[in-house]
Structure 1
Amino acid sequence: MLRDDLRTLWTEPRPPDAPARVWRDWVLLAAGLGGVVLEATLRENVVWRPVAVVFTVWLCLLPLWRRTRPLAMVTLAFGSVILLQVASLVAAPREPVGLYTGAVVLVLVYALPRWGSGREIVLGVTVVLAAAALCSVTDETPVVENLVGFVFLLLPGVFGAAVRFWVTARERQLEQVRSREREQLARELHDTVAHHVSAMVIIAQAGRVLAGADPSAAVEALEGVEEEGARTLEEMRAMVAALRDRGAGAELAPPAGVADLERLVRTPGGRLKVDLGLDGELDSLPPALDAAVYRIVQESVTNAMRHAVTATEVLVRVTAERHKVRVSVRDNGQRTGRGRDGYGLAGLRERAALLGGELQAGPGADQGWHVEAELPRGRTESGAHPRPRR
């Protein structure tokens, strides 16, 4: 078991999309260089002052690459510490060499497990422990102080590992939400199309019965419609079966849509008044778009019921335009917590993106929480031409 855990750690890849530099890096650099200037100017008992200043400036520069090159920066920083410690052993100064600002290396210890691969973490921790062990052996400090120093040195690394675990867990949950949303969308598409294809098969079967006295060409055509419809239904069921949960039913019924919004907002038990407004041609929306509008309103109203403090009303507006449908859900309450998007909103964004639209959610300018979605009526509607009826 331990061997498997170590092998998993060793093969762990780096987190994706690590930022090269952000504004905090320049603030950290300015603070470090400012600390070097103040300490070198005001401190009197600095051993090897020029060496200590150059060494600390070097340490302040290394965090600029801590996310993209975590192992290299840790090796350069703590390798320099080892070289300086060996030099101080040879020259035997009365006091340790260096400035207190050199504590900036703790940022590199944090960045190693946060942004490094498993292999980089193992090698980097080895370098850090080697430098700490050399300093503990050569410095005449009590054992308790050495232990406290070890803990203080490794604590940022523990924080970095914890942050990485939290971010990874949240990304995994978000991916599960997106996967469930794709599955639900695929199921809705399947059920809607299967509903119509089943009707086509039934009509074709009836046509065969009624066309018994007609020419054989009509019978063959009806047989072709029946065969093609049955094959399409079978292939679609097989394709989507892998996306369904094993316990899911196979009922063929169109999903809820705009027509069900009246029933949704009038569901008894809600503590908020829901003002629903529908505008435009909403009766002939594509099935996937129809279901997406319903899901956006359903999730947004549910979130308002749960999280909107002191809210009394939720305004829901669905507007159909020529090429797109706009959905707006706004409440007049106050939001609790930090206002971070939940997994439900992540699923709605995934659904909107799959349909070629976009969804935005956030606090309003004055009060409440706003959800705004814009969905196209069809990805190829503008370039499509109606087929003439025969």
Structure 2
Amino acid sequence: MGRGPLRALWDEPRAVAPPGTAWWDRALVAGLVPLTVLEAGLRTDVVWPVWDAGWALVCVAALWWRARHPLAMLVVAYGAQTVAGVVPALAGEPYSVLNVTAVVLLLAYSLGRWASGRGVVAGCVFLLGAHLGREPQYDSSGASMLLGVGALMLPVALGALARFWAASQVRAREEVRLRERERLARDLHDTVAHHVSGILMQARAAKVRGRTDPTAAVEAMDGVEEAATQTLEDMRSMVAVLREGEDDGHARTPTYGVKDIPMLAQHHGEGPQVVVHTSGDVERLPAAIGSALFRAAQEAVTNARRHAVEPTVVAIDLARDKDLVRLRVHDDGRPAAPARGRRTTPSYGLAGMRERVSLVGGAVQAGPDPAGGWTVEAIVPVTPSARK
């Protein structure tokens, strides 16, 4: 059950205030101190100038710590303004609080901006209680008192709005970072798993051949070296793209597309042969769609090498029919024995493939083929906006 709005407000933690005192607060205090002295000396209606100036300076000084201690500074400043006006009124003197004390409105803003939920509630209760308690001493009308309530609550509300806007910006940045981490995780999986599966197959072949034919074992190790070199180059390219995106602030472009799918057919001795066939205008697909299809094909080939039982051929068919692109990857591995059965629960790679394709509006299906083997099929629409 979700929390109600009042409970959510009560449990709201304090906002993280900037360290120290902001330069504008220091400038404001530095400017208001002489202005306070000047107002107290020049106003002819001020009966107790030293008294009024002293309490006004307390209000001004509270600005220095308003972000770090918003509730305490509000209580100090509004209490000082109240004492400055109520004591002369009780002595029969006219109202003569200095205009500088209006900085309490900025402290009310700070309450909504920085204080915890409990602090905001406590501060609002204090403001309303002090305001409604002191205004009758000034012979204020009901309309004037109501207007004062609005004037005090408005900056609190503005501070809360600024707080929630800042929090939404932080959440948006966190979501962007999370999506970047997820993209990086998918790219790492797709790149590393594909090449490491090849390295593993070559290493196993070298181990078997080394018992009878050392020359063949050396050839197999050459394949291991080639696959490891390609893995290293791909990871360096990935890091270079990430660094470039961070430096220039532009979107990170995919490193692979449909034009790179034929390189999946490069055969290194062991494992099934990979055959690629394309039809239709697949060369002019949008970069995002091309990258998603390449990664889907790469993951499907990797899964065939790792999980299929004695496959001989992995066929990749990529076809475009107007505004629809279809990728089909089929291996002819025979049905697995129950003890070794092919994994039927979604792997991270298959989940990443589905997520990647779904981001470009497509869908992925994977499972045993009625004609034998295993088939992965991805269908992606090419919308008019994607073609731009």
TM-score by length of 1: 0.54
AA aligned to 1:25 is D
Partner in structure 2 of residue 36 of structure 1: 36
Q: How does 1:49-198 map to 2 (within 5 A)?
A: 49-93=49-93, 95-198=94-197
| 1:145 partner SS | helix
Deviation at 1:121, TM superposition (A): 1.2
Cα distance in 2 for partners of 1:40, 1:298 equals 58
Structure number with the bigger relative contact order (C-alpha 8 A, sep ≥ 6) is 1
Amino acid paired to 1:62: A
Shift of 1:181: 1.0
Distance 1:3 1:97 in 2: 46
Cα displacement string for residues 203-230 of structure 1 (whole angstroms, at most 9, x for unaligned residues)? 2454576568679xx9xxx9xx9xxx9x
Q: What amino acid sits opposite 1:106 in the alignment?
A: L
In structure 2, how many angstroms separate the alpha carbons of the residues matched to 1:119 and 1:186?
Answer: 41
1:10 aligns with 2:10: yes
- 1:200: Cα distance to partner? 2.0
Matched, 1:290 2:237: yes
Give CA-to-partner distance per residue, 1:347-383, whole Å, 9 cap, x none: xxxxxxxxxxxxxxxxxxxxxxxxxxxxxxxxxxxxx
Aligned AA (1:41): G
- The letter of the residue matching 2:196 is V
Q: Is the 8 A contact 1:79 1:127 kept in 2?
A: no
What SS does the aligned partner of 1:178 have? helix
Partners of 2:12 and 2:249 in 1: CA distance: 41
Is the contact made by 1:47 and 1:97 (CA closer than 8 Å) also made in structure 2? yes
The 1:121–1:80 alpha-carbon spacing in structure 2 relative to 1, beyond 3 Å, is same
C-alpha deviation, 1:69, in angstroms: 0.8
**Displacement, 1:172?**
0.4
2:74·2:123 contact (CA, 8 Å) conserved in 1? yes
Q: Which deviates more from structure 2 when the two are superposed, residues 3-12 or residues 67-76?
A: 3-12
Matched, 1:47 2:63: no
State the alpha-carbon separation in 1 of the partners of residues 111 and 237 from structure 2: 48
Distance 1:17 1:132 in 2: 28
- C-alpha spacing 1:207/1:289, structure 2 compared with 1 (3 Å): closer
DSSP 3-state at the match of 1:15:
coil
Q: Return closer, same or farther for 1:208/1:6 CA change in 2, 3 Å cut-off.
A: same
Kindly provide the amino acid, as one letter, of the partner of residue 52 in structure 1.
D
Query: Does structure 1 retain, via aligned residues, the 8 Å contact 2:90–2:137?
Result: no
Structure 2 stretches of 5 or more lacking a match?
Answer: 225-229, 252-388
Within 2, Cα distance between the matches of 1:17 and 1:25?
13
Q: Paired residue for 1:352?
A: none
Is this contact kept in 2: 1:33–1:57, CA < 8 A? Answer: yes
Rate the CA distance shift 1:122–1:287 in 2: closer, same or farther, 3 A.
farther
Q: Separation in 1 of the partners of 2:68 and 2:245?
A: 42
- Measured in 2, the distance between the counterparts of 1:52 and 1:184 equals 62
Q: What's the secondary structure of 1:149's corresponding residue?
A: helix
Gaps spanning 5+ residues in structure 1: where? 230-282, 304-390
C-alpha contact (below 8 Å) 2:41/2:49 kept by paired residues: no
Q: Distance in 2 between matches of 1:2 and 1:96?
A: 49
Is the 2:15–2:114 contact (alpha carbons within 8 Å) kept by the matching residues of 1? yes
Alignment of 1:215-364 (within 5 A): 286-294=233-241
